[in-house]
Amino acid sequence: MQLVIGNKNYSSWSMRPWVLMRQAGIAFEEVLLRFDGFAPDSRFQRELAAYTPARRVPVLIDGDGDGDGDGAFSVWDTLAIAEYLAEKFPQARLWPDDVRARARARSVCAEMHAGFPALRSHCPMNVEASLPEVGARLMREQPAVGTDLERIVALWSELLQQHGGPLLFGRFTIADAYFAPVCSRLRTYALPVPPRIAAYVEAVHALPGVQAWVKDALEEREFLDFEEPYRSSR
């Protein structure tokens, strides 16, 4: 299996399935396409077109996805990739075992997939950076960021209370991989959260799969101005 991703320092969408597979012990080959812009004629877009007509990362390529020898099968979109992996590797228990907990995990992943636009827009993922002053300013000047943060705190608090922590459903699941980029944002911008939420953020950050992603992100040493609205250099 191959997983096509973008820069680890910036690509929150790529982080989700990469961390999921690494943490769950699912073997894959990484194909990293470095960002140079997102215009149709950019190198990144031209290279990505060879893997998916959607021209978005991540993309999972299964060398024999249906097992009948017909050749490679591609899956794009993080939720579709997560569901495909859960079905292909049931022994990995990527979703919670309980039917209601499983439905709730799917619900919160879908909410993340489609929601929190202010947090996404104003707090772009940047693993390497430390921008607490930007976070403080955003909390003062962008009420929608605070609204998104309140919902995340409420969502995580309920799940941690219900399942006892340290992760959202007790043990590691797709939901934790899905929120790993949010945890990264909270660290980068030092957004204010209650102690139990801060402990969850640190528990996710300490996962071996997340630590491996962070290590690679820090080693990229690239500065892309179109990904960093709050800095002029690294």
Read off the pLDDT of residues 180-207 as tens digits, 9 standing for 90 and up.
999 999 999 999 999 999 999 999 999 9
Tell me if 14 is assigned to some domain.
yes
Co-location of 105 and 196 in the same domain: yes
- Integer Cα distance of 17 and 57 in angstroms: 10
- The tens digit of pLDDT for each residue in 64-86 reads 644 444 568 999 999 999 999 99
Residues 11 and 79 in one domain: yes
Domain-ending residue, one of 42, 76, 94: 94
Please give the tally of structural domains in the chain: 2
β-pairing, 73-76 with 2-5? unpaired
| 115, 87: one domain | no
- The pTM assigned to this predicted structure is 0.94
Q: What is the pLDDT of residues 15-26, one digit of tens each?
A: 999 999 999 999
Q: For residues 150 and 197, state if they share a domain.
A: yes
Q: Which domain holds residue 68?
A: 2-94
Q: Within the chain, which residues score under 50 in pLDDT?
A: 65-69
Clarify whether residues 106 and 200 are in a common domain: yes
Are residue 64 and residue 127 in the same domain, yes or no?
Answer: no
Alpha-carbon gap, residue 141 to 161, rounded angstroms: 31
pLDDT at residue 232, rounded to an integer: 86
